[in-house]
Chain A
Amino acid sequence: MSKIIRINTKERTFNYSEPDEEFAGLGGRAFTSRMILKEVPATCHPLGKHNKLVFAPGLLAGTGAANSGRLSAGAKSPLTEGIKESNAGGLAAQKIARMGIKAIVLEDKPEDDKWFNIVIKKDSVEIIPAGDLKGKGTNETISKLWEKYGKTGVICVGQAGEQLMISASMQLADPNGRPGRAFGRGGLGAVLGSKNIKAIIIDDAGSKRVDIADKDAFTAANKIWSKALTDHPVSGEGLPAFGTAVLVNIINEAGAFPTKNFREGRFEHAHDISGEKLSETITERKGVVSEGCHPGCVIKCSQVYNDKDGNYLTSGFEYETIWAFGANTMIKDLDDIAVLDKLSDEYGLDTIEMGVTIGIAMEAGVVPWGDGKKAIELLEEVGKGSALGKIIGNGAAFTGKAYGIDRVPVVKRQSLPAYDPRATKGVGVTYATSPQGADHTAGYAVAPNILSVGGSEDPLKKGNNVEVSRNLQIATAAIDAAGLCLFVAFPVLDHENGVQLIVDLLNAQLGASLTTDDVVALGTQILKDEIEFNKLAGFTKKDDKLPEMFDDSFEPHNVKWGYTEQELSKTLDFK
């Protein structure tokens, strides 16, 4: 991977360039965050001409290494107004890498209202009118683009991105041509929309696999790597059988399942929306219990959920989505939750942000708690572009202001996900301190906190959770740079030489002699870049905190948040 494609969306021109020394060894999140820091003025308007949208595959993308098909997208976030890296599966990462492309950078902003698609092929870039795709949902958009271009990688926006809503996602074609994968968090769909780009088509026809410096060493390392993933009970058995939604019952049992906008930690109807129930329903309706989100995935935690008549309804139905539209809003009907997920994918919206936002609308009495049908009608307003839809599509913080609600669970304006920070303190520290805003994937301290497996952190007490969060944030950043699925963490952690396996793959591919220390240094540097950008954008330590609603006691464990600004400030206090 050696070339960068820069596309000027105002002039509708492009050029190729070689990365300079500073960027040459970077991939994925390491690349996107460094470029945003270096090239985007931190105080710029995120929907203005100075913001850039950067796509970068991870260092291992396109190699055949198992679970290496994740793509990073970076920009200044219109939701948080800080730096953002969002990470997704789908087909694009490996195709981009196989064409020898290190990054695709969208720059500037059109002065007219014409919409375009970008078609990237092995030796060409075309910027062509989007035609009648404008105004269409992502499902139809991807279907039509596959009819025209075949089984390509597609990154696109739906109606939410077109309307520049700050909860807008970019949806990606999954291996079956459905919009089941997403750059969900941080409103990056609005950044693509601000540049009047409906879709990016990645066609790698004629490309080869990426060059491997030491093929024999790579093959040997990948064999061990794949076996480690498939032999592990989480990545090899639990995730394929139940998907991430198996966490519903477990987090609920732990008393950390935020219910009714984070009022309490157990949902009376958790069993009705659990991974076990989901798996049973999918089987009954002849859906697909387990499928990968990208070629080369051996974990296969995604699935296809059919409606009562056996017709396709949605896919990529995650724990966080089921929580957001379920317990958080008191909706207990899995079919209603699936429709809300489908609509979010179709319009191009972050499901976590939308679930929390519907909770805020319920606080305001716009729709009743637990009413799935009314929640569906509310989300449909986003697709219509009505005034109400524009409020909802701009997320929880915006909706809270619109209705005068003081109970709004956001950090840096981004909604908290599915683990209550009072009952899983390590996750809470990450919510408060991550440069990304509240984000569970920025440092996932759930398992050691909850299960006491391999660690003894009490999830209800402060303990060493600041240190745990720091280390997890570093590790997660490094995994994002490699382009690996975050779920590789299970075997990596439990395998005697887990991290060394990743290092072996990287060394064989790049002809390098990296050590595990280098991996830690890479993760640390990514966080430093992101913190520096946010500082330049005006963020201070006072932004690294949870809202005051978390000062309230939380049942069933009767715990409070309780961290001070000074305690939290030590989390990412790199020297």
Chain B
Amino acid sequence: MPEILFNAFSFLQKKLKANGFDHSNVTIDVPENHSVIDLIKSMDLDPDGIEAVFVNGKAGDFEYIIKDKDRIALIPPGTPGPHRLLLGIRPGDPIK
């Protein structure tokens, strides 16, 4: 069973606490072939309330299958660090 280091930030901390889960630097076991989305659901979190997931310090995919010793962190919408899409960052931007 993969063992991971888990974190969740910002508004998610309060939600996890209410759901009976720890949120900071927690070592947890997850079932084999468990994806990030499976992990989110197992903690009674709404996937729509998660904006991004870090897998080993890099923005990752929600379908990623969790491996032993992974470092997983969840981030809700509302994180600053300006500019998501400003000029030309994605195709079709009106101000490209």
Contact = CB atoms under 8 A, between A and B. Distances in A.
Contact of A516 (B13, B78, B94): B94
A301 B85 CA distance: 21
A176 B79 CA distance: 27
A276 B13 contact: yes
A444 B82 CA distance: 6
Interface in A443-461: 444-448, 450-457, 460
Most buried by A among B11, B52, B83, B84: B83
Nearest to B11: A241
A238 interface: yes
Given A246-B9, A454-B90, A557 B57 contact: yes
A62 B73 CA distance: 42
Contacts of A265: 57
A130 B95 CA distance: 48
Contacts of B13: 276
Given A253-B7, A500-B94, A520-B95, A460 B58 contact: yes
Most buried by A among B52, B58, B89: B89
A472 B86 contact: yes
Nearest to B25: A271
Contact of B85 (A255, A446, A448): A448
A493 B79 contact: no
A497 B84 contact: no
Contacts of A246: 9-10, 78-80
B77 interface: yes
Contacts of A233: 51, 76-78
**For chain B, what secondary structure do more than half of its interface residues adopt (helix, strand, loop), or is it mixed?**
loop
B67 to A, nearest CB: 16
B87 interface: yes
Contact of B77 (A237, A249, A274, A468): A237
A255 B82 contact: no
Contact of B7 (A249, A275, A519, A520): A249
Nearest to A497: B94
Interface in B60-96: 71, 73, 75-90, 94-95
A275 B25 CA distance: 16
A514 B51 CA distance: 35
A457 B58 CA distance: 11
B49 to A, nearest CB: 10
Interface string B25-51: 100000000000000000000000001
A250 B11 contact: no
Contact of A455 (B57, B73, B89): B89
B10 A275 contact: yes
Contacts of A468: 88-89
A487 interface: yes
B79 A447 contact: yes
Nearest to B12: A276
A487 B82 CA distance: 6
Contacts of A446: 81-83
A160 interface: no
A499 B88 CA distance: 13
A474 interface: yes
Contacts of A557: 57-58
A475 B51 contact: no
Given A233-B77, A234-B78, A490-B80, A475 B86 contact: yes
A452 B85 CA distance: 10
Contacts of B81: 247, 250-251, 444, 446-447, 450-451
Contacts of B76: 233, 238
B59 interface: yes
14 contacts: A233-B78, A234-B79, A237-B11, A239-B78, A247-B80, A249-B9, A253-B9, A265-B57, A276-B10, A301-B80, A451-B51, A451-B84, A489-B83, A493-B85
Given A246-B80, A450-B81, 6 more contacts: A253-B71, A451-B51, A453-B52, A454-B85, A455-B89, A475-B95
Interface of A: 233-234, 236-239, 241-242, 244, 246-247, 249-251, 253-255, 265, 271, 274-276, 301, 444-448, 450-457, 460, 467-468, 471-472, 474-475, 486-487, 489-490, 492-494, 496-500, 516, 519-520, 556-557
